[in-house]
Structure 1
Amino acid sequence: MNKNIFRQTQIKRLNQIDITSKRAKEALILESFFDQHEVKNARKLAITMSHGFELDTAPIIQRLIENGKCVYVPRTLPERQMEFVEYNLNTPMQPKFQGILEPVGGNVVRPEALDLIIVPGLAYEVSNGYRLGFGGGYYDRYLKKTPASKIVLAFSEQIYSDPQWDVEPFDVPLEKIITEEGVQFER
């Protein structure tokens, strides 16, 4: 299926999850995430600032900081590039690409220094660990630069047994996919 059409279908599907169900699913995903050895062993973690229909990352970020982890959030750059900037609860933020909050200023982490990256997207397939992102290509470019573990936190509505979209040669497979039902894929 055409990626853009499938993206619109997924956004509609995710917007149909009622808030009570969404919060219950997020709580289960959060607990499963913090049980993973990659999370327990990581010192430097990268995670996106969520918005709208996405899984709410604010409680995850809060708990990571409370657990003494170094948290980094993305900032977009020209030519569809991105970097991750150290984040704490006092970091100044401003809306940028697609309205996502990004840090203003701050310390940038080198891609090779990250231990774990939580990768966002719209859909994931559990035969090989591929994702359908939002269409900018920012994450696929960045993921090629980092040896960090690549984990997805998703709702079951985002999971497919095989890709329903065209997988491109530049797509980077993920290492673990976690939903409210637990680990759905592990490389």
Structure 2
Amino acid sequence: MTSKKAIRLKQINQLKQVAAQTKLAWEQDLYQQLWQDPVFDSAETIGLTYSGAIEVNTLPIIERAFELGKEVYLPRTDPTTHKMNFIRYDEGDQLEKSDFGIREPLADPSKIENYLDLIIVPGLLFTKYPHWRIGFGGGYYDRFLSTYPAATISLAFPFMVCAELDWETFIYDRLVDHVIVEKA
């Protein structure tokens, strides 16, 4: 078995090496598949991260959700408790960088909603089926989904999917319902 830490480092290095034009083309394919997904189509409330530079760009997803009249929620993490809440994000809302360098909404208890129709879960590596996932290492999504189950979709570039599980899983690890893979 390979350690999750080693897998994370390998996947992050691969993400950093993807050419900008290739990444854009892959993202366009992922978006088109997502727009056609019935779970995305029927979801009225969607939770997702405001992506970092190497991740699948989520800004077009946020913009599309707004165009379709969906409510968008971004996670706000609390490093002291290792928990997160989803906070409604409205166009123009101010964001701030978390301890992890991810843009998050400002803390506003009146905008917290953790019971969402769909959560687009970030990750670095997924198994084909069932959809085990290696995230960025904080465990925030696994903890969250164990308390607030929702439909889940992840978006993956071709090298982010493997045939079988090659890492240790734990009781708190959560499967993703569906992984949309770029059709390279």
Q: TM-score range by the shorter chain?
A: over 0.9
- The 2-side partners of 1:134 and 1:105 are apart by 22
In the alignment, what sits opposite 2:122?
A: 120
Tell me the CA shift for residue 166 of structure 1. 1.5
CA-to-aligned-CA distance 1:84-124 (integer Å, 9 cap, x gap): 00012211100013100011134000x3x310000001110
In the alignment, what sits opposite 1:167?
A: 169
Which of 89, 107, 112 is matched with 1:108 structurally? Answer: 112
In the alignment, what sits opposite 1:47?
A: 48
In the alignment, what sits opposite 1:32?
A: 33
- The 2-side partners of 1:155 and 1:90 are apart by 29
Return 5+ residue gaps in structure 1 as ranges. Answer: 183-187
Give the aligned residue type for 2:154. Answer: V
Structure 2 residue matching 1:27: 3-state secondary structure: helix
Structure 1 residue matching 2:107: 3-state secondary structure: coil
Give the aligned residue type for 2:175. Answer: P
Structure 2 residue matching 1:98: 3-state secondary structure: coil
Structure 1 residue matching 2:69: 3-state secondary structure: coil
Structure 1 residue matching 2:104: 3-state secondary structure: strand
- The 1-side partners of 2:11 and 2:175 are apart by 19
Q: Which TM-score applies when normalising by structure 2?
A: 0.94
Give the aligned residue type for 1:37. Answer: P
In the alignment, what sits opposite 1:185?
A: none
Matched length: 180
Q: What CA RMSD, in Å, does the superposition of the two structures yield over aligned residues?
A: 1.2
Give the alignment of 1:129-144 within 5 angstroms: 129-144=131-146
Tell me the CA shift for residue 135 of structure 1. 0.8
Moved more, 164-173 or 73-82: 164-173
Tell me the CA shift for residue 146 of structure 1. 2.0
Return 5+ residue gaps in structure 2 as ranges. Answer: none
Structure 2 residue matching 1:181: 3-state secondary structure: coil
Q: Percent identity?
A: 35
Structure 2 residue matching 1:150: 3-state secondary structure: strand
- The 2-side partners of 1:123 and 1:97 are apart by 23
